[in-house]
Structure 1
Amino acid sequence: MSESVLKLENADIYQRDNLVLSKVNLDIQKGDFYYLIGKTGSGKSSLMKTLYGDLSLQRGTGAIVGFDLKKLKEKEIPFLRRKIGIVFQDFKLLSDNTVFGNLEFVLKATGWKDKEKIKEKINEVLDKVGMKSQYYKKTFELSGGEQQRVAIARALLNDPELILADEPTGNLDPKTSLEVIELLNDIHKSGKTILMATHDYQLIVKFKQRTIKCEGGKLFEVEQKATV
């Protein structure tokens, strides 16, 4: 029995008062990996923001990790975000804090109390992203790629049912972008569900996954052409 982690039906996506995507239908099952592509201004970011509660869903229906997006209340947003991991283009790390401190901050904010368990969890996620040996560094001392690895580790902290990656390679050079995508692919292979917005077509060709596209106010699945 497959399980929907994210389902939108006839959903209209607005950016303020502008309708940017109309009648969106999307069903992402547990264990899927989707790329979300489209030009700047095509609605990718607005769709992502609707999914993590930054923009409200005004028309149509939407459910994500057990939350009804149509009925989502302000006070429920933190609980929604505990069940999804969000990776942003600009990392959104606390720059004057250490790698460990950044992750500890999130765990404490989401109700973790036991010091030993916090330490164990942080070591576990840093190990997954290859940053365990750098736990003591301030994040401003890290390269862009290392900061994004820490941001991915942060997204994994509460064992999310879905990872939303919004242009995670947008600020990285091609080599580092490749490493970040390899990391996300490994995380996907371990059973995580991922929706990743990107404009980097090189990566999509290299690491083939299902692809959906925002264009002309619509969202549709793109057939991957076989590359010779």
Structure 2
Amino acid sequence: MSDPEAEPILLGNTKVTREDWLTVAMDLLVSEGVAEVKVLSIGERLGVSRSSFYWYFKSRKDLLDALLDAWEQTNTAALIRHAALPAHTITAAVCNVFRCWVDARLFNHRLDFAIREWARRDGAVRRIIDRTDATRLGAFQAMFERHGYEAAEAEVRARILYYMQVGYYALELSEPLEERLKRVPSYLLGFTGAEPREEEVAALVAYARKSAPSA
């Protein structure tokens, strides 16, 4: 028997893949919440029958599990990867993390918020969120420790850095990019206790402007 994931379903000249199902499911999760992530609704958006769903997924739960996995493989993986990047100073290291928060290709904050809303109603997802938050915090703490902070201080600074950004998204603040960028030096000083170098700030600002949706 052929592998269904290797042979996309054909509708005329349109190929409907597992990724298509996931993309539409994620769009629904973000825009309308997990309750609206329904096989029939996704199929209608894709223009395919409900039966084609079962080429790629065993059940709706299988699809939801795939969404959680995709979230961890994108948002969480990006934060861990950037926290571990080589940096000469702690302020440069935090700038690496900031790149995730100014570049939606690296970190989708709307998806993160949608997962947290889902977790409010699902204990299993709540446990996944708790585990993921601990993993992210551990990566940030390790980043501070690599730059000479004692474990206790590194843990607190990691919490301040992470919880501040989570709170920023939860409040749904919509500051203009340039306004956010003006505060970068002060944020870096507040998070690290160290004055950032001008070239570190300049590099982050240039990256943020280049990554902006209108760029």
Q: Which has the higher strand share?
A: 1
Q: Which has the higher helix share?
A: 2
TM-score (norm 1): 0.27
Please identify the structure whose Cα radius of gyration is greater: 2
Tell me: higher relative CO, structure 1 or 2? Use CA pairs within 8 A at least 6 residues apart: 1
